[in-house]
Chains A and B, each alone.
Chain A
Amino acid sequence: MAYDKFTILRSSAVPMPIENVDTDQIIPARFLKATERKGFGDNLFRDWRYETDGTPKKDFVLNNPIYSGKILVGGKNFGSGSSREHAAWAIYDYGFRCVVSSFFADIFKNNSLNVGILPVQVSPEFLDKIFTAIEADPKAELEVNLEAQTITIPATGESESFAINSYKKLNMMNGYDDIDYLQAMKDDIKLFADKSLY
């Protein structure tokens, strides 16, 4: 599925300084029953966000109107656990385009890149600076520049670079995905398969 091109994103951010946020929290299993990719944003962080009767939990950050924006900032080991891509869909569908953390689980990182969310891994120190900046001003913006591979806190001018391989970077900047690439090399794959033991 194609997604929006990602170049420069400047936005306020939603802080979630919790470690080991697993994909069962991002979207609980009972909301994985759809056969189409739509509406997952409504159940993003469902059990942290709502009481069992559906009323919003006041102390959860997504229910706090002070915070908004297209960037979600999480604690270390974000996206651990289940491989459900629904977690990335829910984050995208809610309106986030970038997740910042000091450490991402592997499958979540892959899934994010495949659906058009940029995972930006920063140092633990820079993550603290981001949380501090948002604490000082909930509307504080972050600027993520994919081409330059930098994330900046404009209010303080502090900046850090982040890693992404050049193949994925180009995909994100152009809104391409891996399926386009693989379809273009099917003849090679066919030859490879012919020699395969299994």
Chain B
Amino acid sequence: MSNKPATLFDKVWDSHVVRKIEDGPDVFFIDRHFIHEVTSPVAFLGMEGRGLKVMFPEKTFATADHNTPTINQHLPVQDPLSANQLKALETNSNKYGISHWGLGNPKNGIVHVVGPENGITLPGMTIVCGDSHTSTHGAFGAIAFGIGTSEVEMVLSSQCIMQPKPKKMRINVTGKLGKGITPKDVTLYIISRLTAAGATGYFVEYAGEVFENMSMEGRMTVCNMSIEMGARGGIIAPDETTFNYIKGREKAPKGEAWDKALAYWKTLATDEGAVFDAEFTYDAADIEPMITYGTNPGMGMGITKHIPSALAGDSKSSYEKSLQYMGFHEEEAMLGKKVDYVFIGSCTNGRIEDFRAFASIVKGRKKADHVTAWIVPGSHIVEQQIKDEGILDILTEAGFQLRQPGCSACLAMNDDKVPAGKYAVSTSNRNFEGRQGPGSRTMLASPLVAAAAAVTGVVTDPRELIA
């Protein structure tokens, strides 16, 4: 081994390579594998078709989230296809001895919310799931990324996948964030600068003062969105904020095991002088509340700005197709545009700090009459926090209803669909055509921007509503 300065990403990646194949991928060992109902059933079928079994069932964790209803979860699931997928997850998990947090389980929730909140996600781990937002877990200094169903089958049957090592990028954000600027704005800003494909082929380390001062939940929001600029994942070096978050959580190491783990975790940082394949630095002072105006997450801008007349790197025809779908025009302002739906939730912004932020604006105000709002906690634990902290009372007083946990309107697999032609301000991660229902038009934003839209009924700068 050389003692060349290494990046955090190198340290974690290289320690998980079981075999290097010449001019091929690395055989890459997986410490934690999350599964959900949508991308796992075909993997179990495939495995069984080959006569294989789950190699390490204790390293896989199942939760139902993509397809679950967000009301009346105590009743049988109405959609027979969804019910069938949920049943398949339960049956497969039970058959192989995999931990399963199905509908109704007090630990149930969105996979990228429940993993960290129960201490399953730890620094230095390799984590995969058949879901691109697995990048969320990188907030802990883990290498975490989304995989396809064939790879889910590989992990189930051999605890490994075959991956070429990505290139390395570092993104620094220096300085301090202004009033009303949230981690979601930071990530939407970065993506707007790099474009939706700007980090394809890379794994991104986030560094600098802004991330050092950010909470774990904020870091999760940022790492979550890494895939939206094409990056396989994002990673942030673990620090005291990380250790304090993990300590005491149900599946986190305890006693002697904690001390041993902590000593290792403290080695997980990029060495001075380590080399990245690409590096970008931004100034926090340039970031304002963000909103997207187009049909990919790179089409975002400061909320007080006007829609640009072209997007760097994209052809005019693709750009125009996008604006046409949204019903927007070049050089228009976004402020004041009518909003029909507001969604707060998802693996991006479905944690307690997001609901605190939302409530901070809603408090003492009323929901705009024409707005339909879906308030969807990321897990039952978050739902309970919302109740315990009095946030539910604030929401109820303002005319909002709290729903039950799940992915909900982020991808609209369940009944939470935005109708064709309607505009939604959404705290989720994708504004693709039809993402929130066929014909739906999505504007991605932070929980503060979502709250401001929910009470005014139009796109509003949340800083005007902050006391």
Q: Which residue of B lies closest to A77 (CB)?
A: B197
Any A CB within 8 A of the CB of B357? no
**Least Cβ–Cβ distance between A57 and chain B, in angstroms:** 13
Within 8 A of B (CB), among A173-198: 177-179, 181-183, 185-186, 188-189, 192-193, 196-198
**Least Cβ–Cβ distance between A22 and chain B, in angstroms:** 5
Stretch at the interface among A5-13, A80-88, A150-158: A80-88
Q: Evaluate contact between B438 and A106: CB separation under 8 angstroms.
A: no
Q: Evaluate contact between B230 and A77: CB separation under 8 angstroms.
A: yes
Within 8 A of A (CB), among B418-457: 420, 430, 432-435, 438-439
Any A CB within 8 A of the CB of B314? yes
Within 8 A of B (CB), among A1-53: 1, 17-20, 22, 24-25, 28-30, 32-37, 47, 52
Bound CA span A198–B67, Å: 30
A residues within 8 A CB of B148? Answer: 83-85, 88, 107, 110-111, 114
Q: Which residue of A lies closest to B319 (CB)?
A: A19
The tally of CB-CB contacts under 8 A between chains A and B is 204
Q: Evaluate contact between A189 and B197: CB separation under 8 angstroms.
A: no
Bound CA span A181–B21, Å: 11
A17, A30, A37, A196: which contacts B42 (Cβ < 8 A)? A37
Bound CA span A84–B430, Å: 14
B157, B163, B321, B430: which contacts A179 (Cβ < 8 A)? B157
* Given A33-B85, A198-B31: A167 in contact with B23 (beta carbons within 8 A): yes
- Number of chain A residues close to chain B: CB under 8 A: 58
Any A CB within 8 A of the CB of B380? no
Interface size range on B against A: 35 or more
Any A CB within 8 A of the CB of B38? yes
* Given A85-B148, A115-B150: A33 in contact with B432 (beta carbons within 8 A): no
B residues within 8 A CB of A30? Answer: 412-413
Any B CB within 8 A of the CB of A166? yes
Any B CB within 8 A of the CB of A55? no
A residues within 8 A CB of B131? Answer: 82-83
Any B CB within 8 A of the CB of A168? yes
Bound CA span A170–B29, Å: 23
* Given A19-B315, A165-B164, A178-B161: A80 in contact with B197 (beta carbons within 8 A): yes
B residues within 8 A CB of A47? Answer: 433-434, 438-439
Q: Can you list, as one digit per residue, whether each of B20-33 has a CB less than 8 Å from chain A (1) or not (0)?
A: 01111101010110
Within 8 A of A (CB), among B120-138: 122, 124-125, 130-132
Bound CA span A186–B157, Å: 9
Bound CA span A115–B204, Å: 28
Any B CB within 8 A of the CB of A119? no
A22, A37, A114: which contacts B432 (Cβ < 8 A)? A22
Any B CB within 8 A of the CB of A105? yes
Bound CA span A178–B163, Å: 10
A residues within 8 A CB of B150? Answer: 1, 85, 111, 114-115, 177-179
B166, B197, B434: which contacts A105 (Cβ < 8 A)? B197
Q: Evaluate contact between B81 and A33: CB separation under 8 angstroms.
A: yes
**Least Cβ–Cβ distance between A122 and chain B, in angstroms:** 16
* Given A47-B433, A114-B150: A197 in contact with B412 (beta carbons within 8 A): no
Any A CB within 8 A of the CB of B264? yes
Q: Evaluate contact between A24 and B434: CB separation under 8 angstroms.
A: yes
A32, A37, A165, A178: which contacts B154 (Cβ < 8 A)? A178
Q: Which of A1, A80, A115, A196 has the most B CB atoms < 10 Å from its CB?
A: A80
Besides A1-B49, A182-B162, 6 other A-B contacts (C-beta < 8 A) = A24-B432, A28-B438, A47-B434, A167-B21, A168-B25, A198-B122
Can you spell out 15 A-B residue pairs with CB atoms less than 8 angstroms apart?
A19-B315, A20-B296, A24-B432, A29-B413, A33-B82, A52-B420, A52-B438, A82-B411, A106-B166, A110-B148, A114-B151, A165-B25, A183-B52, A189-B29, A197-B264
- Enumerate the 9 nearest inter-chain pairs by beta-carbon distance, A residue then B residue, closest first: A167-B24, A85-B148, A33-B81, A83-B146, A114-B150, A111-B148, A35-B41, A182-B158, A77-B197
